[in-house]
Amino acid sequence: MSTKNEANTETIFEDFVKNHADAIALGANLHDYIYERQTSQNEKIKKSLAGASKKDGSGKGRPDFIIQSRKNSDFIVAVECKADTKYHESKTGDQYDDYAADGVKLYSSFLSKNYDVLSIAVSGETPQTLKVSYFLQLKGEQTATPIFADKLLSLSDLYDGYIKSPEKFRQDYQTLMVFSKTLNEKLHSWKIAEDERALLISCVLIALENEGFVKTYASYKEAKQLAEYLVKTVHNEFENGKVGDRKLEVLDARFSFLKTNSTLSNKKDALKEVIADINDNIKDFIKTHEYFDVLGQLYIEFLRYANSDKGLGIVLTPPHITEFMAEVAEVNKDSIVYDNCTGTGGFLVSAMNLMIKDAKGDSEKIKNVKQNQLIGVEYSDKIFALACSNMFIHQDGKTNIYLGDCFDDEIKSAVKKQNPNVGLLNPPYKADKKTDTDEYEFILANLECLTQGGKCVAIVPMQEALATSGKVWEYKKKILKNHTLEAVFSMPDELFFNSKVGVVSCIIVFTAKRPHPADKEVYFGYYKNDGFVKRKNKGRIDLFGKFENEIKRQWITNYRNHKDIAGLSVLKNVTANNEWCAEAYMETDYSNLTIDDFAKAVKKFVVFKVSGLDETHGNYE
């Protein structure tokens, strides 16, 4: 072992913490953190580290530093230092006594039984030679995941990185979905209609933005008075937000059911109980994960077993796909985004996220993004209320949500004046092919409002891309006459599994107001595997973080570079007479096929022949 002085490494870490965290006073246990060396006064931590000795596992573990968060009792930081950088991390990972990373991950494995643990390995005797590694292991998980770059970070940066990490998001999201299921069952037992449950939640979330409401709602003894106070608070919030008289009238009408609902306005403490639940379980999630379409996800959950909206063709796009589509459209701080089928506002929320990230803290630019660069149109008044609420909860954006028909000349004129250059949409899926508006008509209406060269990205049923005759074919010809087809991505068959909808979809990318060149090579992506898996009572989820950490970047990089990769993508010159999907042109990569793939294919074929059902609707795993 090295004869270097480990105390020097510890001093560097200590000095950095003191100089970069005014919320902490070393040894004084003040403010936001409690800072301890080797042993903790916290009995729960002591118990967690029992048996975590780096030498033989029989004694107590003693990290060089233990840092506890006061504002989040579930979060703890463990630090292990070594003087010599060659003892930073071993190849095997099990040299606990000799290597900093090995040792701190051992402590993490014990502490994570009761805490979310950020473990830090530090080695080196000078700031110039220092090596730093961070690992995040959430409560109950088996492994610690590397996080952050190789440099010391302040405690506030560490906490912010932890709370907004993909790993923490997945944990929080699953907790939110468990809560939403419990809340849904409660509201069902109270006979509150499925399509009113999300409105109730949005109403409460808006009221909870009002400090006066937060402080006083629990003091109301009469349910009816509390219901009236809730609705009045929301009215005032929207009025102060200057949404306009017509929109305010519609919003008041949609939220008015809260004042007359038999349970919420009559049952003692029922509404108070719901408000407290939402405050404890949803508000914090929104504060932490600011630009995530929470209302949209709750709406999907509440309508999962209802049939009320399927006749309207409402299929809400999963958040990971709205984010992907916004990235495909290259949304940035200067984009002006238009969704003429707004729904709950999921595309606008995802676009807002990218725009604000690109603004890099420029407060004036961020203000302008929220007030002027997000435009939506929604036909259904109840969904309109959800969209306005969703944008309000994300601090703004509701002023440019129009209630009405996106084909209306007055609305189109108002949208065009704002010069949108990005279109994002999921058109209503037609139930009746003869009478319902075709998905391409919504795409054409969106393209009409975009500036020349603007990007339109839409997700539609695959049949829209496959048509080579009839009405849909005519729309394909009309689009190519005036606009450029850039790409088509074939999406996972069960993408809308959580909405209980069996439609197979594709994403189509257009450039507005530039006729499709005859020699244009269109990119076709076979994007069938997004890494999501199905789990009982959780639906379809990114359990292992594959999409966020790997697949999404691969999809976008391949598209932007127009890569032709066997089994994933192909470039093809097409017209309206051709099928617009990768499957029609792509060479199959047989090198990855297994006997299990063959067995599954045979099972699908047999089930299809026997039942006559669409084979994409089965679960053969």
269-284, pLDDT tens digit by residue? 899 999 999 988 888 8
CATH architecture of the domain with residue range 308-588? 3-Layer(aba) Sandwich (3.40)
Q: Of the ranges 89-93, 229-233, 428-432, 487-491, which one carries the lowest mean pLDDT score?
A: 428-432
Judge contact between 311 and 431, C-beta under 8 A: yes
pLDDT of residue 432: 66
The per-residue pLDDT for 309 is: 44
User: How buried is 358 (Cβ within 10 angstroms: 0-12 exposed, 13-18 middle, 19+ buried)?
Assistant: middle
Q: pLDDT by residue (tens digit) across 323-344?
A: 999 999 999 999 999 999 998 8
Task: Report the pLDDT value the prediction gives residue 159, as an integer from 0 to 100.
Answer: 85
Residues 598-611 have a mean pLDDT of 61
At 312 the pLDDT is: 40
Angle at which helices 294-302 and 381-393 cross, to 10°: 140
Q: Which helix (H) or strand (E) holds 122?
A: strand 116-123
Rounded CA separation 271/302 (Å): 18
Q: What is the pLDDT of residue 399?
A: 66
- What's residue 217's pLDDT? 93
Has residue 296 got a pLDDT over 80?
no
* Cα separation, 179 vs 70, whole angstroms: 25
Better-predicted residue by pLDDT, 438 or 549:
438
Percent of the chain with pLDDT over 90: 44
Pairing of strands 33-36, 131-137: unpaired
CA distances from 219 to 267, 282, 466 (A): 16, 21, 60
Q: Where are the beta strands (DSSP E) in 268-408?
A: 337-339, 374-378, 401-403
Residue 331 or 366, more confident: 331
Q: How confident is the model at residue 59 (pLDDT cuts 50, 70, 90)?
A: low
Question: Which residue in 344, 224, 358, 354 sits closest to 295, CA to CA?
Answer: 344
- Give the whole-angstrom CA distance, residue 197 versus residue 187: 7
Question: Residue 476 in contact with residue 467, Cβ under 8 Å?
Answer: yes
* DSSP reduced 3-state for 381: helix
Place 607 in a pLDDT band, splitting at 50, 70 and 90: low
Distances in Å between the Cα of 607 and the Cα atoms of 534, 595, 610, 611 are 20, 19, 5, 6
Strand order across the beta sheet in which 145-147 lies: 33-36, 65-69, 75-82, 116-123, 131-137, 145-147
Span 100-115, average pLDDT: 91
Cα gap 14→584, rounded to integer Å: 62
Selection from 71-75, 340-344, 484-488 with the highest mean pLDDT: 484-488
Collect all residues with Cβ–Cβ distance below 8 Å to 524 and sequence separation of at least 6: 487, 488, 489, 490, 569, 570, 571, 572, 580, 581, 582, 584, 585, 586
Topology (CATH) of 6-162: Trna Endonuclease; Chain: A, domain 1 (3.40.1350)
Question: Domain coordinates of the chain in residue numbers?
Answer: 6-162, 169-288, 308-588, 595-621
pLDDT at residue number 611: 44
Burial of 360: CB neighbours in 10 Å, binned 0-12, 13-18, 19+: exposed
Residue 542 CA to residue 532 CA, distance in Å, equals 4
* Across 10-24, 122-136, 509-523, 597-611, least confident range: 597-611
Mean pLDDT computed over every residue of the chain: 85
